[in-house]
């Protein structure tokens, strides 16, 4: 790991920009401090700052306070103790805000009254309560802003800075345990440089890529497992991780790169924060990810309470494998557009919220959208097979489903099935409903004309049916004959659509002859046995993690990692007040 | 220097003070979306989308009143105690009390309610009984009695209520798609007036001769028993206030559309210099 650390530090130095996030590298490698002063002046002279300013400020001060130019330290103190701060509204925002204020309040003990007009000790106490409460809630019911390749690093970095620098021993211990937990989250679903399975949030319009997110740097740093590639692994925002004292236990790297194959990973995640327009609270989320040698198929039981609840960033399922950027993912999505899906988790008049969010992020309302939850989607997965069904109201703005297929594959069609030979594995998929074969190409730079599809570039099958669906099965080539025999076997296996849509039931025989039966709002059954979705916190080879206990044990051979967050079952958990 | 007492206060992306005939200045550098405003001398309580604050009269920095459990404060009301504020949020109504460090800690009154019943948009304290609150929620109007910590459902239900006020001896409620309703006791409601039965109403205020209702179609005026009359631009009015002495001076905030005012009782209107979404207006004292 030290070799990878040195490799990354050197590479990041070559790409340093003028921000407080990369100022860390300059200090670490003894670079030109005048650029740090310039960055500090630019960033910290604003009249209002937010989590993305205060956190890198304290990240820098905590580690380098003795060596920083006096002007930078003075600007940092002014910012943290006298400048108006915006707490933000997502979990990563609040974690950055509270960790920064906690560390600042611990450090600048000569300040009696904080920027918010309260005594310094009051800020410290509030930050301590929220951070410890967030940790406990994560350990009990699962991470709220779960498994995000883009945002996970903004949970890990605050915990790292706290672990390295807080003066409170209990908080330090809990933060370090949380780091181990967060690394385990990554490790369990690590797949050849990417994070398999569903995500609360992936990148924006990046869920058709096989590798996404700044988390790739941490994956490479902690797990190794592949050759260094600066395009994936150099993420300057994560520089603190390179010089932090925190190093995860080796067992977690082993879990990541030395998995028994195939394996199933199950996770429970915290319920979504839906607070109006629906009759009941959302249920806990259950993730199921099947990691095979050549591919990973993951899906999510989102537990949504019905329309208009449809978390806007959620990626509920996909099939991924190693391949080119736009050429190694299959995903489908109902691009649900009801504007009340915004006001279901954002305050203010719904008539104002809907248009406001859509104005800030117009791609959230694109008709070709491939991410974001739909209240009409239901999924059943068993190992490498998945059934996805939709019952979309006839008056919905998007009475269809989008299915993304890579263009880099030569697809074959027979008897309603589409087949792909990926050499090491085979894929068969059957769209349910009439579809049209389109192309999709979206770009970051679309001001005048889209010339390259750097965001999305592939086939878009538009399934024009309010009762659309998809059956998909992926199998390893090894042990499953030739591609030809696979396709014949698949065609000859039963697919029972007689109960769809009227009886809300679809049944499929998988390649081994096992019978998967899915009722849209009813049981999901394998060979007649209903699937039990009452998952523990984690269920995976070598992992014991009963839900609600805050105790997790990882075992690999003689190696054991035990986490115990000391949860008091009588003490109520911190209420969730942030989104995401 | 602008005097907060004699100025209009407008809640937008920050708290603005000014007068119709002059420019607006933002109080401090806070750009949070302001959702409600309450004058408590010498300062101003400011409800925002990220918490609750007390703005001292001429200081740049506000004092935080929220804690880690209070955010997205939609409306506030003056109640007994210290800090003496009932804070309405999507998670219910919260009451605060000071801890040993002087910070305010909040506890919910709404835990036993259902999801939409907890989501609170508006509140008015019963002028005849200080511990009794008429509350507009996403599920309709509910009545809270602090004495027994109890909630009572009313017949104005299954419909979001965005505004409540007390005027002319009656309670008034603005609903989502069912117009304006009125009640003698806050429990039994009936539709008020004619011609607004399907309107979405975000704001309801008293203007002596009339009740003013801010809707998605602009402003409606009426006495609550006869027909309502629509006046002014077709803007989505989310905040309203009437000058306490110049009763024909009306200020309307729209989202979108910014700030508008009328000096002739709604006959003509002009934009007033703030173009952001307006969620709250407090008239001069």
User: Is B1's pLDDT higher than 70?
Assistant: no
d(CA A142, CA A271): 9
Question: Which residues, including other chains, have CB under 8 Å from residue A115's CB and lie 6 or more apart?
Answer: A80, A81, A82, A83, A84, A85, B61
User: Is B58's pLDDT higher than 90?
Assistant: no
User: Is A16's pLDDT higher than 70?
Assistant: no
Give the confidence band of A540 by pLDDT, cuts at 50, 70, 90: very high
DSSP A331-370: EEE-----THHHHTTS-S-HHHHHHHHHHH-GGGG-TT--
Q: What does the mean pLDDT of chain B come to?
A: 95
Q: By three-state DSSP, how is residue A139 classified?
A: helix
Q: Mean of the pLDDT values across residues A91-105?
A: 98
Pairwise CB contact (< 8 Å): B33 & A130: no
For residue A435, give how far its alpha carbon lies from the nearest alpha carbon of chain B (Å). Answer: 38
Task: Note the ipTM here.
Answer: 0.96
What pLDDT is attached to residue A450?
A: 82
Give the confidence band of A580 by pLDDT, cuts at 50, 70, 90: low
User: Is B3's pLDDT higher than 80?
Assistant: no
What pLDDT is attached to residue A30?
A: 78
Question: Are B72 and B50 in contact, with CB atoms under 8 Å apart?
Answer: yes
CA A563 to chain centre: 22
pLDDT single digits (tens) A282-337: 999 999 999 999 999 999 999 999 999 999 999 999 999 999 999 999 999 999 99
Report chain A residues whose CB lies below 8 A from the CB of B138: 276-277
pLDDT single digits (tens) B181-212: 999 999 999 999 999 999 999 999 999 889 99
Q: What percent of chain A has pLDDT over 70?
A: 99
Mutate to test the interface with A, among B68, B140, B240 (most CBs of A within 10 A): B68
pLDDT single digits (tens) A470-499: 999 999 999 999 999 999 999 999 999 999
Q: By three-state DSSP, how is residue B237 classified?
A: strand
Q: Which of residues 127-146 of B touch A (CB under 8 A)?
A: 138
d(CA A396, CA A357): 19
What would the two tokens of residue A275 be?
A: 């607070």
pLDDT single digits (tens) A116-148: 999 999 999 999 999 999 999 999 999 999 999
The torsion angles phi and psi of A528, rounded to 5 degrees, stand at: 85, -5
pLDDT single digits (tens) B120-173: 999 999 999 989 999 999 999 999 999 989 999 999 999 999 999 999 999 999
What pLDDT is attached to residue A15?
A: 55
pLDDT single digits (tens) A53-90: 999 999 999 999 999 999 999 999 999 999 999 999 99
Q: B117 in contact with A at a CB cutoff of 8 Å?
A: no
What pLDDT is attached to residue A9?
A: 85
Q: Mean of the pLDDT values across residues B48-54?
A: 96
Q: B277 in contact with A at a CB cutoff of 8 Å?
A: yes
What pLDDT is attached to residue A260?
A: 86
Question: Are A67 and A28 in contact, with CB atoms under 8 Å apart?
Answer: no
Nearest to B90 among A47, A84, A347 (CB): A347
Q: What does the mean pLDDT of chain A come to?
A: 95
Nearest to A126 among B30, B62, B68 (CB): B68
Nearest to A118 among B33, B64, B72 (CB): B64
Scanning the structure block, which residue is given the tokens 């955010």?
B71
d(CA A393, CA B137): 28
Q: Residue A386 forms beta bridges with which residues?
A: A381, A472
pLDDT single digits (tens) A204-243: 899 999 999 999 999 999 999 999 999 999 998 888 999 9
Nearest to A275 among B90, B162, B279 (CB): B90
User: Is A13's pLDDT higher than 80?
Assistant: no
């Amino acid at each position: 790991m030290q070799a990878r650390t040195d490799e990354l530090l050197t590479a990041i130095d070559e790409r340093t920009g003028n921000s407080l996030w990369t100022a860390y590298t300059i200090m670490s490698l003894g670079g030109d401090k005048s650029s740090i002063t310039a960055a500090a002046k630019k960033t910290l002279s604003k009249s209002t700052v937010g989590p993305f300013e205060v956190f890198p400020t304290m990240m820098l001060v905590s580690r380098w306070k003795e060596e920083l130019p006096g002007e930078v330290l003075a600007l940092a103190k002014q910012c943290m103790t006298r400048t108006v701060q915006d707490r933000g509204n997502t979990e990563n925002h609040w974690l950055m805000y509270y960790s920064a204020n906690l560390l600042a309040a611990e450090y600048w003990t000569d300040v009696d009254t904080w920027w918010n007009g309260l005594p310094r000790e009051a800020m410290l106490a509030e930050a301590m309560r929220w951070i410890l409460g967030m940790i406990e809630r994560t350990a009990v019911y699962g991470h709220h802003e779960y498994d995000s390749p883009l945002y996970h690093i903004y949970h890990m970095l605050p915990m790292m800075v706290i672990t390295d620098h807080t003066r409170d021993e209990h908080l330090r211990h809990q933060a370090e345990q949380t780091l181990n937990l967060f690394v385990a989250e990554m490790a369990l679903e690590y797949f050849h440089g990417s994070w398999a399975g569903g995500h609360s949030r992936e990148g924006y319009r990046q869920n058709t890529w096989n590798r996404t997110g700044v988390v790739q740097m941490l994956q490479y740093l902690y797990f190794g497992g592949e050759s260094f590639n600066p395009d994936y692994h150099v993420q300057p925002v994560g520089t603190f991780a390179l010089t932090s004292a925190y190093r995860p236990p080796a067992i977690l790297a082993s879990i990541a790169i030395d998995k028994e194959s195939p394996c199933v990973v199950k996770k429970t995640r915290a319920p979504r924060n839906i607070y109006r327009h629906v009759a009941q609270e959302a249920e806990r989320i259950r993730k199921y990810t099947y990691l095979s040698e050549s591919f990973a198929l993951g899906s999510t039981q989102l537990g949504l309470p019905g329309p208009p609840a449809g978390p806007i960033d959620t990626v509920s399922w996909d099939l991924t494998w190693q391949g080119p950027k736009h050429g190694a993912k299959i995903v489908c999505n109902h691009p649900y557009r009801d504007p009340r899906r915004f006001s279901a988790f954002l305050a203010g008049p719904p008539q104002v919220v809907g248009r406001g969010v859509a104005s800030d992020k117009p791609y959230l309302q694109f008709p070709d959208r491939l991410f974001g939850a739909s209240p009409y989607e239901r999924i059943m997965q068993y190992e490498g097979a998945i059934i996805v069904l939709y019952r979309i109201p006839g008056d919905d703005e998007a009475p269809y489903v989008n299915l993304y297929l890579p263009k880099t594959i030569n697809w074959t069609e027979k008897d309603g099935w589409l087949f792909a030979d990926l050499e090491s594995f085979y894929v068969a998929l059957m769209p349910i409903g009439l579809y049209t074969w389109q192309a999709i190409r979206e770009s970051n730079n679309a001001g005048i004309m889209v010339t390259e599809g750097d965001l999305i570039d592939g086939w878009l099958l538009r399934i024009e049916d309010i009762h659309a669906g998809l059956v998909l099965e992926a199998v390893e080539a090894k042990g499953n004959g030739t591609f030809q025999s696979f396709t014949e076997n698949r065609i000859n296996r039963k697919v029972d659509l007689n109960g769809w849509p009227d009886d809300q039931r679809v049944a499929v025989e998988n390649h081994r002859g096992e019978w998967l039966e899915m009722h849209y709002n009813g049981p999901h059954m394998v060979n007649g046995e209903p699937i039990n979705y009452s998952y523990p916190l984690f269920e995976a080879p070598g992992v014991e993690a009963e839900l609600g206990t805050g105790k997790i044990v990882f075992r690999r051979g003689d190696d054991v990692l035990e986490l115990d967050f000391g949860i008091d079952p009588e003490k109520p958990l911190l209420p969730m007040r942030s989104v995401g | 220097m602008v005097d907060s007492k004699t100025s209009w206060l407008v809640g937008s992306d920050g708290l603005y003070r000014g007068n119709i005939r002059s420019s607006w200045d933002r109080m401090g550098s806070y750009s949070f979306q302001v959702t409600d405003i309450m004058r408590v001398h010498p300062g101003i309580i400011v409800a925002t989308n990220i918490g609750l604050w007390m703005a001292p009269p001429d200081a740049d920095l506000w004092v935080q009143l929220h804690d880690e459990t209070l955010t997205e404060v939609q409306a506030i009301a003056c109640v007994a105690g210290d800090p003496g504020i009932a804070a309405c949020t999507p998670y219910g109504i919260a009451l605060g009390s000071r801890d040993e460090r002087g910070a305010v800690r909040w506890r919910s009154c709404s835990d036993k309610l259902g999801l939409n019943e907890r989501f609170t948009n508006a509140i008015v304290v019963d002028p005849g009984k200080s511990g009794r609150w008429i509350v507009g929620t996403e599920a309709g109007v509910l009545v809270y009695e602090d004495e027994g910590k109890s909630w009572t459902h009313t017949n104005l239900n299954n419909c979001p209520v965005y505004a409540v006020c007390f005027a002319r001896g009656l309670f008034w409620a603005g609903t989502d798609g069912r117009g304006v309703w009125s009640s003698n006791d806050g429990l039994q409601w009936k539709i008020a007036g004619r011609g607004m039965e399907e309107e979405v109403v975000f704001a309801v205020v008293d203007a002596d001769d009339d009740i003013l209702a801010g809707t998605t179609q602009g402003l409606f005026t009426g006495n609550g028993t006869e027909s309502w009359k629509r006046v002014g631009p077709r803007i989505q009015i989310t905040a309203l206030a009437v000058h306490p002495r110049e009763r024909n001076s009306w200020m309307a905030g729209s989202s979108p559309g910014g700030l508008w005012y009328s000096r002739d009782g709604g006959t003509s209107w002009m934009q007033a210099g703030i173009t952001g979404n307006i969620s709250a207006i407090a008239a001069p004292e």
